[in-house]
Amino acid sequence: MREIGTASAESERAPEEALWARIAAHPFEDARALDFTGRLAADMGWSRAQAKGAVEEYRRFCFLAVTGTEPATPSEEVDAVWHLHLTYSRDYWSVWCPQVLERPLHHDPTGGGPAEDARYHGQYARTLARYETAFGPPDPAFWPGTAARFGPRPRYRMVDTHRVWLLPRPSALRRVAPAACLLLCLPTGALALPSTPLDWRGPEFLGLYLPLALLAVAASFALAVRLRFAPGRAALAGAPTLDPLEAALLAGGPGRVADLVALILVTSGSASVERFRGRLVVEGLQGEAARLRPFLGSVTGPTRRRDLMGAVGEALGPLRRRLHARGLLLDPEETRGARWVALAPIAAVALFGIAKLVVGIERHRPVGFLLVTLLGLAASAGLLWWWLSRPTRAGAQALDALSRNQARALRAPMPSELPLAFAIGGIGILSASAYPELFAYLKAPLRDSGSGCGTGGSGCGSGSGGGGGCGGCGGGGGD
């Protein structure tokens, strides 16, 4: 636990210190061939180190569960430890609860439904906030964000290994390795070739063109990095502070700002979402939403997302200039110039490839591989075009610092933390929140911006001397 400040605080926390000492001293490992930690590792497919880490997080969860004023909700990893501990019923009900916790800690099924989902989402976020206060930032390996914790599919489930095979998901390296081997094995050309590459046969031309394309992409990216992160583009002295709107523009561009405006309007009670029409109904600016008036323009009444994005995009000038003055964002003129300079190598190689494509089509030759390569160049150019609208090095550093400071809130934000967390993390922050209609509104395609929505998921909670909920599982009772 974190250190206590004053003598009076130490006196007030003495019972909690004693409780934590008992929890920390309780043995979960012994001399048996298969002790509690070993069984947990075997059941979950974890290493022993992972299992030991999960047990330590379970200790902390139980401390939070019996010292709080409301039920605490565990992660799935911690819940797995709790489930296993309940099967050690003599230790759990005869030692752990009466002697260590000094009160019963129940584990019961959730009732299900949107109301229960919202309750457990909130409980989980508040549990992580209390964890951070008591023990420091929660480890993401054992305490994932609400989106992962309450996703549509459980991360852990029991399977019959006699009936199915379990295969790990391929890593990024495994995905690209076959393509890399293919590139290395392509022919590099023959000894005797026509002097004009446009007259070469397909395999020989590709042997020249593919390395050229890779070099062009590498050169363009190198230029882009140099132009965007030029040494002269430094931030003003001191660590820059960012409000949610500034963070949204740096992290996600104009679209993120428009979505953040919608979020603030809804959470402040200034707007609501028509569930089945997928429109935002602005009803009057209240509280924090009053400062959004310049971004709304003539937007009133039911508004589709594309219209809101258009209104917000037209009003971003002052916000952009403020960030540019602080060295956090390129101005539009700098962005346009950087884009054309950086894209020059890709454009030159693409024109060469297009010329060969035309020759191949005229001569009725297969051009599939060349066409795919040109599409790859186009995708790289599009990525560079977008990337050069991103923040400067100082802006990226400011975002990184803000993300580190808000690490817990980005995984499980409290209501007051939601705007800033959304500004940094985007729409994924809402995937497991109490705003399913808003989530559906922001996820809808811009061409219609309309959809219905629904929620699902499971929750798990604890109650000191009472009950908790756990979707899809049962709990035990105490004397």
Q: What is the pLDDT of residues 67-107, one digit of tens each?
A: 988 899 999 999 999 999 999 999 999 999 999 999 999 98
Say if residue 445's pLDDT is above 60: yes
Provide the pLDDT confidence category of residue 289 given band limits of 50, 70 and 90.
Answer: confident
Task: Write down the pLDDT at residue 230.
Answer: 59
User: Who wins on pLDDT, 61 or 228?
Assistant: 61
Task: Write down the pLDDT at residue 478.
Answer: 40
- Distance between CA 459 and CA 469 in Å, rounded? 6
Provide the pLDDT confidence category of residue 60 given band limits of 50, 70 and 90.
Answer: very high
Task: Write down the pLDDT at residue 191.
Answer: 41
Provide the pLDDT confidence category of residue 133 given band limits of 50, 70 and 90.
Answer: very high
Task: Write down the pLDDT at residue 385.
Answer: 79
For the ranges 2-16, 191-205, 269-283, which has the lowest average pLDDT? 2-16
Task: Write down the pLDDT at residue 384.
Answer: 82
Provide the pLDDT confidence category of residue 476 given band limits of 50, 70 and 90.
Answer: very low
Provide the pLDDT confidence category of residue 236 given band limits of 50, 70 and 90.
Answer: very low
Closest CA to 261 of 417, 125, 442, 396: 442
Q: Where are the domains of the chain?
A: 15-149, 197-230+337-387, 244-329+391-443
Task: Write down the pLDDT at residue 169.
Answer: 64
Task: Write down the pLDDT at residue 98.
Answer: 96
Task: Write down the pLDDT at residue 283.
Answer: 81
Q: Percentage of residues in the chain with pLDDT exceeding 90?
A: 25
User: Who wins on pLDDT, 220 or 334?
Assistant: 220
Return mean pLDDT, the chain: 79
Task: Write down the pLDDT at residue 455.
Answer: 41
Can you give the pTM of this predicted structure?
0.62
Provide the pLDDT confidence category of residue 423 given band limits of 50, 70 and 90.
Answer: very high
